[in-house]
Amino acid sequence: MWDSRVVRGSTYASHVLPTTVAPDPVSVQKKAEKKKLRDFKKKTAERRQTVSTPEPVDGRKHMDVQTEQYLEAISDRPAEETLGTQTDEFLDRPPSPLFIPQKHGVDCATQIEEGDLFDFDFEVEPILEVLVGKTLEQSLMEVLEEEELAAIRAHEEQFDQIRAAELAEAQRMEEAERRRMEEKENRLRQERERLARESEVSHKVAARGFATKYVGNVVSEVFDELEETGFFYDPLVREVEEEVVPWILEGVEEGVSQASIANSLVDGALGTVLQIRDNKAAAAKAKYDAIVKAKEEAAAAAAAAAEEARKKAEEEAAAAAAEAEFHRSLCRLQSKT
């Protein structure tokens, strides 16, 4: 209780701890012992003043000496010094006399013969019966406890076996459920992939049909425009225009004087050239007709292939829908069961 850090009073009020350092417990204890010694000396001095004791003679002084007949142990006393003094010898305490109660009443006597109070053969029989009965009862209880423990162990083993079987069955069912879920996920994934492929095929077929329809017109228009612009030309006509005609013009310019001969030659040459040009034009026209016919046949084959792919995609979609309906029916049946 001397520690200043111990809070006393209400625990709800705010306490301000002192900033000073707590004193050392050893020093506090020493101070308390010194104070106690001072108080004792003070009380002793007061007691001396109250008792009328004559003053000591020269060369001597008064001291507190125990002069009682019997010694008393002093448990708490101040520091003292060993001194000697002459006192009376201690008187020995006489022994306590033996207590003998005062006699009263009348003395009586009774004669008891052997076997009057206790017959061993007769008295030991119930004791033996009790001992044997208790022993048998204890043995029977131990046997019953052993049988009960054995039954409990057997029941525990049976319970462990049943629990292991149930656990194995639960694991098997969980594994089967996991496999069913994996199969379901795989089927759903395959169905999504099939639908994606079907959608992709339908888009490709539609794009191919649109491209075929669009490109067919474009090809014909391009060929017509190229033909109109002169891209497809007769090589003989081009040769005549680029070589023969200039040569003829040069010949005409050079041989104006030989007009009659040149005219006859030119007429013959023109006839031959025109015949050759007609032949070349017919061949070019036949070749163009063959190219156009081949493109038309290719477009027709592409349209037939697209129609066949569309029919096949429709058949696969119908089969997938039937399979999905079958699986849904199977799932509903399993859920009902």
Q: Tens digit of pLDDT for each residue in 132-179?
A: 999 999 999 999 999 999 999 999 999 999 999 999 999 999 999 999
Whether the CB-CB separation of 218 and 316 falls below 8 Å is answered with: no
Whole-number average pLDDT of the chain: 77
Compute the distance between CA of residue 310 and CA of residue 227 in angstroms, rounded to an integer.
Answer: 37
R_g over Cα of the chain: 71
Return the half-sphere exposure (C-beta side, CA atoms, 13 A cut-off) of residue 96.
Answer: 3
Alpha-carbon distance of 118 to 124, in angstroms, equals 10
pLDDT at 14: 52
What are the residue ranges spanned by the domains of the chain?
A: 198-336
What does the pLDDT read at residue 238?
A: 72
Contact 204, 305 (CB under 8 A): no
Q: What is the pTM of this model?
A: 0.24
Residue 244: pLDDT above 90? no
Handedness of CA 49, 53, 57, 62 (dihedral sign): negative
